[in-house]
Amino acid sequence: MQSSRFDSPLTPYFLLLPQMAIIAVFFLWPAAEAIWSSFFLEDPFFGTRTFVGFENYVEALSSADYRRAAWFTAIFTLIVALGSLALGMWLAVAADNVLRGRSAYKTILMWVYAIAPPVAGLIGVMLFDQHIGPLVDFVGLFGHEMKVGVNWWDTAIAMMIVATWKQIPYNFIFVLSGLQSIPNSVREAAAIDCRSSVRRFWTVIFPLLAPTTFFLLVINITYALFETFGIIDLMVKGEPGNNPKTLVYKVFLDGFRGNDLGGSSAQSVILMILVLVLTIAQFRLLERRIHYK
């Protein structure tokens, strides 16, 4: 904590004014509105509201469509979070080992970070296109005709591949910087004790990376839940039909296409609770890490 501070009675309020104004108007108000309207049934034509208590929640949670989306979101999140972590880590370990060309590899592997999810989605749509997609041809070699956008599983897998691909650079950057902060003396000691580099990784390096790994898992889960919106929107070409969709995408669809304000708000609130849990988990990890440092 800063011990020496300024004592002017009004200045801090002026300094905080812009931030607080933006938060109040664009954050607190909408968040309160979401919670409030999740307890009402709204008629989009007459603008009337009826208080329905938890009915929107019950309806959302018990609808088959919501459960399907929740189930897909769970699998999607698990695979994207673990997949991008594993692949990013694998590449980072390799990049950390080599001397020649390291910075070139690093630069190239970072590039995809800069790509917006919908742009990644568009390239994905093309690569998995029935007519022109080379990946469809490739899978065809193994005797399976991929029908992305028609077949549920094919679409789901294509989405997971694109979403994982987009998140690899983030994991790569963090693991690599984590690896480079491990002192050389530790590596040398480990190298003397253990000849096998694979075992050395799992017994020495991986435990040292544990804080980074946990941090990345939380970030990856948040990414898979929320930031993949653009990928999904593009890959279902804006027309989800029976295609797999995540919970966030469903909030968007029900709110803006279905005009189901109460239902969409109830789903928002459920997601808010999910984010709350994730954030608490993240902060507890952070605390523990500071504790051990």
Partner 1 sequence: MYRDRLRDHLVLIVGVIVMMGPILVAITTSSYDRVYIHNHGMQIGWGGNFLETYRNVLFYKGGFSGEVTGALMAMNSAILGIGFAVGKIVVSMLAAYAIVYFRFPLGTFFFWVIFSTLLLPLEVRILPSYEVVQQMGLLNSYTGLILPLIASATGTFYFRQFFRSVPDELVEAARIDGAGPFRFFIDILVPLSKTMMAAIFIIMFVVGWNQYLWPILITTDEHYFTLVRGIKQVLQVYIGADIPEYNEALAMAILAMLPPGLVIVVFQRMFIKGLVETEK
Residues of this chain, 10-49, that bind partner 1 according to CB under 8 A? 11-13, 15-16, 18-20, 22-23, 25-31, 33-34, 37
How far is C-alpha 175 from the geometric centre of its chain's CA atoms? 17
Q: Where are the beta strands (DSSP E) in 214-292?
A: none
Give the Cα separation of 143 and 151 in Å (integer). 16
Question: Least distance from C-beta 153 to partner 1, angstroms?
Answer: 21
**Partner residues linked to 148 by β-bridges:** 151
Three-state DSSP state, 79: helix
Question: Least distance from C-beta 44 to partner 1, angstroms?
Answer: 12
Residues between 50 and 79 that touch partner 1 (CB under 8 A): none
Contacts 24+ apart (CB under 8 A), 182-189: 182/208
Member of 41, 52, 61, 112 binding partner 1 (CB under 8 A): 112
Member of 80, 85, 159, 168 binding partner 1 (CB under 8 A): 168
Listed in sequence order, the residues at least 6 apart from 228 whose beta carbon sits closer than 8 Å to its beta carbon are 76, 80, 117, 159, 163, 246, 248
Question: Least distance from C-beta 30 to partner 1, angstroms?
Answer: 4
Member of 79, 83, 169, 245 binding partner 1 (CB under 8 A): 169
Using CB under 8 A, which of the segments 51-59, 60-68, 151-159, 231-239 binds partner 1?
Answer: 231-239
By CB under 8 A, tell whether 159 contacts partner 1: no
Member of 72, 85, 165, 224 binding partner 1 (CB under 8 A): 165
By CB under 8 A, tell whether 105 contacts partner 1: yes
CB of 91 or CB of 156, closer to partner 1: 91
Question: Least distance from C-beta 53 to partner 1, angstroms?
Answer: 20
Residues between 256 and 285 that touch partner 1 (CB under 8 A): 256, 261, 264-265, 268, 271-272, 275-276, 279
Member of 80, 81, 109, 204 binding partner 1 (CB under 8 A): 109
By CB under 8 A, tell whether 290 contacts partner 1: no
Residue 51: what are its φ and ψ, rounded to 5°? -75, 125
Member of 41, 52, 82, 173 binding partner 1 (CB under 8 A): 173
How far is C-alpha 234 from the geometric centre of its chain's CA atoms? 16
- Determine the length of the chain: 293
> DSSP secondary structure string, 111-162?
GGGGS-HHHHHHHHHHHT-TTT-HHHHHHHTTT----BTTBHHHHHHHHHHH
Give the Cα separation of 35 and 265 in Å (integer). 7
By CB under 8 A, tell whether 97 contacts partner 1: yes
Residue pair 210/174 in contact (Cβ under 8 Å)? The answer is: no
Give the Cα separation of 283 and 280 in Å (integer). 5
Question: Least distance from C-beta 202 to partner 1, angstroms?
Answer: 16
Member of 6, 45, 46, 142 binding partner 1 (CB under 8 A): 6
x/- mask, partner 1, residues 183-212, rule CB under 8 A, reads: -x--xx--x---------------------
Member of 70, 90, 147, 200 binding partner 1 (CB under 8 A): 90
Give the Cα separation of 60 and 264 in Å (integer). 9
